[in-house]
Structure 1
Amino acid sequence: MTRLILSAAVMLSLATSASAKPALRDVPEIDNGLFTVGLADQIRKNCPDISARFFRALSYLKGLENEARDRGYTEAEVEAHLDSDAEKDRLRARARDYMKTRGHGQDQQGYCALGREEISRGSAIGALLRATN
């Protein structure tokens, strides 16, 4: 009887660990998508010559939320991730690194130059932006 209980406990433990979801930051499709939206938002806020394609950005975000839910994350888990100051800071640091590797500073000139590059390349970031001048 003790052996049966121990076996059941081990199996339950293995099943639980096998079904555990990774943190949303560890799901590349979600993390890269949030990076894309976040950097596009920073560009449009810091460059007066570039605006957002808001409906496209909202649709993109909704797609990320649906992807997370399809992977078994609850609305509360998604909201907690989106509201996390630590995650926001991590993505901002990633954006700083990205801008630096592209040769741009985090000033108006750098944001505008990066935004125009992303738009002209037709990147995921550029697809969320529109040059107004």
Structure 2
Amino acid sequence: MQKILKTTLAAVLVTASAGAAMALPPLEDDPRVVREFFAAAVGDEIRNNCPSISARMFRVVVRVKELESYALKLGYSQDDITAMRKSPEAKEKLKQMRDAYLAKNGVTEGDAQSYCRLGLAEIEKNTLTGYLLRAN
């Protein structure tokens, strides 16, 4: 009887764990994850195109670790996090969002000063993107 109870309990726990894992929405749909990856993508594009702005790498690394911890606490695995970061679909969606934001804010591809203007505005407003950047 005790063996049957242990086996049944184990089966219930495995089923409950699998059900909980399946209930999680895609990580790339989480608003905080989207917001933070978006800010990093915009900042990265600015720093790569404006010679007078660079990344505050310590802040970037800390935010990445905080976001990873957040996702793990929600029940996502390290494999889920890695899969989202490497997903071509998620990367393309983020790129489209980034490019639309840059265009909306007057950035023109090939015009370094337009990237610099936006970067300085982000820094001045202390947005998340601005928090991750430094004017040299």
Task: Return the TM-score normalized by structure 2.
Answer: 0.80
Alpha-carbon distance in structure 2 between the residues aligned to 1:125 and 1:17 = 33
> Residue 134 of structure 2 corresponds to which residue in structure 1?
130
15-24 or 114-123, which deviates more: 15-24
Which of 39, 42, 52 is the equivalent residue of 2:45? 42
Instruction: Report the alpha carbon displacement of residue 111 of structure 1 after superposing the two structures with TM.
Output: 1.5
Kindly report the root-mean-square deviation, in angstroms, between the aligned alpha carbons of the 2 structures.
2.0
Counterpart in the other structure of 1:76: 79
SS at match of 1:66: helix
Q: Unaligned stretches of 5+ in structure 2?
A: 1-14
Partner of 1:93: 96
**Residue matched to 1:114:** 118
Identical amino acids, percent of aligned pairs:
37
- The separation in 2 between residues aligned to 1:89 and 1:60, in whole angstroms, is 22
CA distance in 2, matches of 1:81, 1:53: 24
- The runs of 5 or more residues in structure 1 that have no matched partner are 1-11
1:125 match: secondary structure: helix
Query: What residue is the counterpart of 2:9 in the other structure?
Result: none
Q: Contact 2:119–2:133 (CA<8 Å) still a contact in 1?
A: yes
Distance 1:95 1:49 in 2: 20
Residue deviations 1:98-119 (CA, integer Å, cap 9, x gap): 1122222233222111111100
Alignment correspondent of 2:108: 105
TM superposition score normalised by structure 1:
0.82
- 2-side partners of 1:36 and 1:90: how far apart? 14
